[in-house]
Amino acid sequence: MNKETVTITDNRTGKSIDCPIKKGTHGPSVIDCHQLPSKLGLFTFDPAFVTTASCESKITFIDGEKGILLYRGYPIEQLAQHSSYPEVCYLLLYGELPTREQMDNFNHSISQHTLLHEGLVNFYKGFRHDAHPMAMLVGVVGAMSGYYPDALDIQNPEHRNMSAVRLIAKLPTIAAKIHKYLIGQPYVYPRNDLSYVANFMHMMFSVPMEPYQFNEKATRALEIMLILHADHEQNASTSTVRLAGSSQAHPFSCVAGGIATLWGPAHGGANEAVIRMLHDIKHPKNIQEYIRRFKDKDDPIRLMGFGHRVYKNYDPRAKIIRDSCYNLLEELGMKQHVLFDIALELERIALEDEYFIERKLYPNVDFYSGMILRALGIPLNMFTVMFAVARTVGWVAQWMEMMEEPNLKIGRPRQLYTGAQRRDYVQVEERI
């Protein structure tokens, strides 16, 4: 018998089963509970999946207590310092850092798929002039399921890889087109002579009247942002993509579901909510009153950009973004930026406050990211779109990994039913 087991005993019946323990490379081992229903007639109960490992994955590892984040084993700090976003995309998708030739081929492949079908332009026109960019992103990416009939054979690994390349290549074009549509400026087509991130900045900010002035440090700050947001294990939006993919749905529809999930302020929408919160605070002298409100259970306001389901220590991405933000503000001559001052003071006070300390609430990736995006001239309502552009590679890498599983089963959680007992229909005349 496998010695590494956990014995579960139902004290009502005295029945026991030995559940195998599965050990990973890093992190907690897991209990394989799949025999519980058949052997003990029991389900596990874990609302919000706080303690549930929903799958086995080789892509990203997080240690919440130690504040560790690895992409395919490489520390996020080293990737942020040395890598490029396309190289991180290759690593997440295929598991290894590319050779120079592999990187050139991948860059070429991406550059061949940055254009959108011109028919999609009409789709944009259906949105109100003040639609939220995330509503448009969900719609346009979902609509793209209707444009690639050759991507529907998801049992074909080449089709799956092509869908992944298309999504990574087209998300910046789609996002930039949304931005241009909402500000009433002409769309800017992608340029194959530019790097992935420079091309994104070009499509977002170029205007017909004059050439776009690139700022290398600003482009690098955005690239670091994209690297840090690329993947994050089984977060809410990635879990949505996996669950949708488990039904064999079209990959573009799965990613549209991930975008919809990311939009929530408890998830990717937090970067926009942080800036709105800093604006509401207005001045460091108001911070103590807001700290009181963040702790008041009767007040729905929360300290946005703080806290995390997994990180019970400083989010390693937040440290990198804070330094990158400071350097960018200095480069752009915005060092004494009042929002940044409020954020630094808010972080200092919160990290000394018992409420946040005992609940292990630290800044997460969203606390400083909004300030970088704002300094780059990206409108507030586009912040979560930027997160979605970055996370697309994580979604498709996790989807590809799941689709390669030999015995892929559709995800289908069960429940604890506490509704009415079985009862017979009552004619309306007899109801009181």
How far apart are the C-alpha atoms of 108 and 174, rounded to whole Å?
19
Residue 246 · residue 409 · CB < 8 Å: yes
- The answer to the question of residue 266 lying near ligand SDX (CB under 6 A) is yes
How far apart are the C-alpha atoms of 232 and 168, rounded to whole Å?
17
> 154 vs 365, which CB is nearer to ligand SDX?
365
Sheet holding 15-22, edge to edge: 5-10, 15-22, 30-31
- The answer to the question of residue 319 lying near ligand SDX (CB under 6 A) is no
- The answer to the question of residue 293 lying near ligand SDX (CB under 6 A) is no
- The answer to the question of residue 364 lying near ligand SDX (CB under 6 A) is yes
Considering only residues 85, 290, 306, 399, which one is a binding residue for ligand SDX as defined by CB under 6 A? 306
State yes or no: is 130 an active-site residue: no
Considering only residues 72, 166, 232, 250, which one is a binding residue for ligand SDX as defined by CB under 6 A? 232
> 98 vs 394, which CB is nearer to ligand SDX?
394
Only segment of 24-32, 136-144, 184-192, 267-275 that touches ligand SDX (CB under 6 A): 267-275
- The answer to the question of residue 366 lying near ligand SDX (CB under 6 A) is yes
Q: Which residue has the CB atom at the shortest distance from ligand SDX?
A: 307
- The answer to the question of residue 278 lying near ligand SDX (CB under 6 A) is no
Q: Which of residues 333-362 bind ligand SDX (CB under 6 A)?
A: 359, 361
State yes or no: is 366 an active-site residue: yes
Q: 95 in the Ramachandran plot: left (φ > 0), alpha (ψ -120 to 50) or beta?
A: left
How far apart are the C-alpha atoms of 191 and 200, rounded to whole Å?
9
- The answer to the question of residue 261 lying near ligand SDX (CB under 6 A) is no
Closest CA to 290 of 341, 343, 366: 343
From the candidates 280, 308, 323, 341, which is the catalytic residue?
308
How far apart are the C-alpha atoms of 400 and 238, rounded to whole Å?
12
> 84 vs 364, which CB is nearer to ligand SDX?
364
How far apart are the C-alpha atoms of 198 and 325, rounded to whole Å?
18
Binding mask 162-201 for ligand SDX (x = CB under 6 A): ----------------------------------------
How far apart are the C-alpha atoms of 252 and 396, rounded to whole Å?
9
Residue 57 · residue 233 · CB < 8 Å: yes
Instruction: Give the pair of three-digit tokens for residue 27.
Output: 């992190």
Only segment of 34-42, 161-169, 275-283, 301-309 that touches ligand SDX (CB under 6 A): 301-309
Instruction: Give the pair of three-digit tokens for residue 327.
Output: 């350097």
- Which run of H or of E encompasses 31? strand 30-31
* Single-letter amino acid code for the residue at 135: A
Nearest distance in Å: CB 365, ligand SDX: 5
Per CB under 6 A, residues contacting ligand SDX are: 232, 235, 266-268, 270, 294, 302-310, 359, 361, 364-366
